[in-house]
């Protein structure tokens, strides 16, 4: 599998798993568009990707703002020649948003849904015409195991991402655009390493069938598969990448 000549846009691609996805795709020939709210990261991101030898374009973007998303996608498509893949990785998450529903401040509740759910709609809609012009493409939305065991607002938003994935797969299908999702479990990203306590790590590890901590490469491999031609008959599916927790019948 190779992504030579393809263009991959990644929201939240300046760091963590999003950046790891971009680096993998660039190594396999893709040009990378990074859409991230962290404007201060621009120079470092461009320098880091440039070292890999491919084309990179960075746009500061607030995915929750429709005008910002549309402008960033248009500028990236113009700079790189189009859009083939979109990875919706930008999200508000981690333990702060795992509070019981009535305890999370309402302004954070709104921000969570605006970024995690509406942000996917904004960027996906902006990418659709550029993908259609190139004969189709693939979108991968980031959900979470929290969307399969809903107890807090993070789980509510990730459950909504799964539903949004199904809805977009149906809506975008006529343009030959497949829409899938990945739902990571505990993965040792820099953000998770800094946010999750050792006690929580041990509890999650104990629930898994695969008794090791997930690595960012595990998620990157899943995203790569879902974008590849080997997954050309897969759409509307959210793939758990979680060491076998939770198991589904």
**Active-site entry in 49, 153, 172, 186:** 153
Q: For residue 10, give the 3-state DSSP assignment.
A: strand
Cα gap 123→217, rounded to integer Å: 24
Q: Which residues pair with 239 in a beta bridge?
A: 182
Q: Which residues pair with 240 in a beta bridge?
A: 183
**Which residue in 111, 117, 28, 123 sits closest to 75, CA to CA?**
123
Is 135:175 a contact under the CB 8 Å cutoff?
Answer: no
Cα gap 37→18, rounded to integer Å: 13
- Tokens at residue 101, please? 């529903």
Cα gap 124→41, rounded to integer Å: 23
Q: For residue 156, give the 3-state DSSP assignment.
A: helix
Cα gap 37→122, rounded to integer Å: 14
**Which residue in 47, 44, 19 sits closest to 34, CA to CA?**
19
**Positive/negative CA dihedral, 161, 167, 169, 172:** negative
Note if 153 is an active site residue: yes
Cα gap 118→147, rounded to integer Å: 16
Catalytic machinery residues: 153
């Amino acid at each position: 599998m190779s992504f030579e000549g393809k263009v991959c846009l990644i929201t939240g691609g300046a760091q963590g798993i999003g950046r790891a996805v971009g680096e993998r795709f660039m190594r396999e020939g893709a040009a990378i568009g990074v859409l991230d709210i962290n404007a201060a990261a621009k120079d470092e991101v461009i320098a880091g990707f440039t070292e890999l030898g491919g084309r990179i374009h960075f746009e500061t973007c607030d995915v929750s703002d429709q005008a910002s998303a549309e402008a960033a996608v248009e500028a990236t498509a113009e700079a790189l020649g189009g859009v083939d893949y979109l990875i919706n990785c930008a999200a508000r998450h981690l333990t702060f948003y795992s509070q019981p529903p009535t305890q999370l401040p309402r302004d954070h509740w709104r921000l969570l849904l605006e970024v995690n759910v509406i942000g996917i709609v904004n960027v996906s809609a902006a990418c659709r015409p550029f993908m259609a012009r190139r004969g189709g493409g693939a979108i991968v939305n980031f959900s979470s195991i929290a969307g399969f065991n809903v107890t807090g607002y993070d789980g509510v938003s990730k459950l909504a991402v799964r539903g949004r994935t199904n809805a977009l797969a149906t809506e975008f299908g006529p343009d030959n655009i497949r829409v899938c999702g990945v739902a990571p479990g505990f993965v040792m990203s820099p953000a998770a390493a800094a946010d999750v306590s050792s006690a929580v790590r041990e509890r999650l590890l104990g629930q898994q069938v695969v008794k090791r901590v997930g690595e960012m490469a595990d998620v990157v491999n899943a995203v790569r598969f879902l974008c590849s031609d080997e997954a050309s008959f897969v759409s509307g599916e959210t793939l758990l990448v979680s060491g076998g927790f939770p198991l589904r019948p």
